[in-house]
Amino acid sequence: MRINKYLSASGVASRRKCEEIILAKRVTINGAVVDVLSTDVNEKKDVVCVDGIQVKLPGEFVYLKLNKPKGYACTASDEKGRKTIFELVKSDVRLFSVGRLDYDTEGLIFLTNDGEFANLVIHPKFHFEKEYHVLVEGAVKESELAVLRKGAVVDGKRMPPAKVKALSFDGNITKISVVINEGQNHQVRRMFEAIGREIRLLKRVRIGSVTLGGLSRGKTKPLTAEEISSFRGDK
């Protein structure tokens, strides 16, 4: 098994991040520093360490979905001392988040120790949709929604097109569904800033075919076998 795949499958990080760790010379195999991405690992004999700590392939994979509340960072530790999502999770194995949600964004996020699964979910080439519910003040015009569908221009560059529709208006707040499949940094917030709208609440409610359902804020639930297989498919 290639070293980047081994680290990813061991739950260290996504495969792309593992490549960065390898190139930074933070990985050793049997005591020797490795910085070549094509290096192979003998899973049964080799001792692999990251920053001096041994990492192993998990005996059992864990797949959780979490309803992330606002005010939590999606990191194992936060340099600003903020609360992290891992304070909400009870697990006997080391987990990492599949992608991230902004500190002030809430909703669906996956936690796992299966690097291959994480790569399937977040890799751009697989185009799994992510749906968000957005709350903004006032009535939103159809012309504004049309701009978002086409791709709002931010800093002189056009954002990717999105599926956008108004869900409700209570006389004060408009609730809007936004579906994207690329996931650029702060994409949804930047889209609404481009049309002069400030987001009151941003919540991710779906990844692929997996929804939050009735999961309460701050709670986790194991993904079902059907939900996990929906990302694997024939890919």
Are the beta carbons of 12 and 53 closer than 8 angstroms? no
CA 72/CA 139 separation, integer angstroms:
30
92 is catalytic: no
How far is the CA of 65 from the CAs of 25, 46, 58, 82, 102, in angstroms?
33, 33, 19, 21, 16
Q: What are phi and psi of 107, to 5 degrees?
A: 120, -155
| Both structure tokens of 202 | 């941003």
The amino acid at residue 174 is T
For 145, other C-beta atoms within 10 Å of its C-beta total 18
Closest alpha carbon to 45 in 58, 56, 59, 36: 56
CA 206/CA 166 separation, integer angstroms:
17
Burial (CB count within 10 angstroms: exposed 0-12, middle 13-18, buried 19+), residue 97 = buried
Catalytic residue (one of 102, 114, 170, 234): 102
How far is the CA of 172 from the CAs of 132, 138, 200, 201, in angstroms?
20, 5, 12, 14
Which residues have a catalytic role annotated?
102
